[in-house]
Amino acid sequence: MATQRLKSIVMAIMVLGLLFPRLAAAQAAWPAYSNEAFGYRISYPPDWEFKPPNDKDVFFVTSRLDGGGDRFRENINCKPLRLQIKGFNIRSAEAQIIAGVATMPDFKLISTAYVRWNGVEALRLEYTLSNTTNGEKYDIHIQQQMSVIGDVLYAITFTSEEGSYARYLPMATRIVNSMKVN
């Protein structure tokens, strides 16, 4: 029994050893967007579409439509904001942030957590809501991560149709974690 278990562990290590270099190489081939004004770089999968910056979003990528009945493109955006308040920290703003998103239709807070991201503390929110676009109602699932680095508040948001959230979350997590702030 112990020998069989040891063989299984060795096999798993070998498979992971073969898999991790391929994953790293695949991510290395991802296109990247750099923003000098806010001092960050973020990578995204080559089959996602990059949208040029505008006054609402500094970084915005969307998934492709999956065909058939898919009518929503999962997306990730980053909205940095230069702060005018000295000593601002994300914990002191948590209640205001939640109150701001809680005004959205059918808002339901799923979880809040503090995580390390780019060497600092970040607030991660997960919530659902509904949104109507062009007369069509969507049930939306969002994971949003916010942190203050220097004098900038970085808010990076993954938005998905409710039924696709679990499938896209691993890719969204890789994109979010690819973001490096100088």
Please, what is the average pLDDT of the chain?
84
What is the rounded CA–CA span in Å between residue 172 and residue 61?
A: 10
Closest C-alpha to 178, from 24, 62, 56, 66: 24
- Residue-wise pLDDT for 89-113, tens only, equals 899 889 999 999 999 999 999 999 9
Q: Which residues of the chain have pLDDT under 50?
A: 6, 10-12, 14-16, 19-25
pTM value is: 0.80
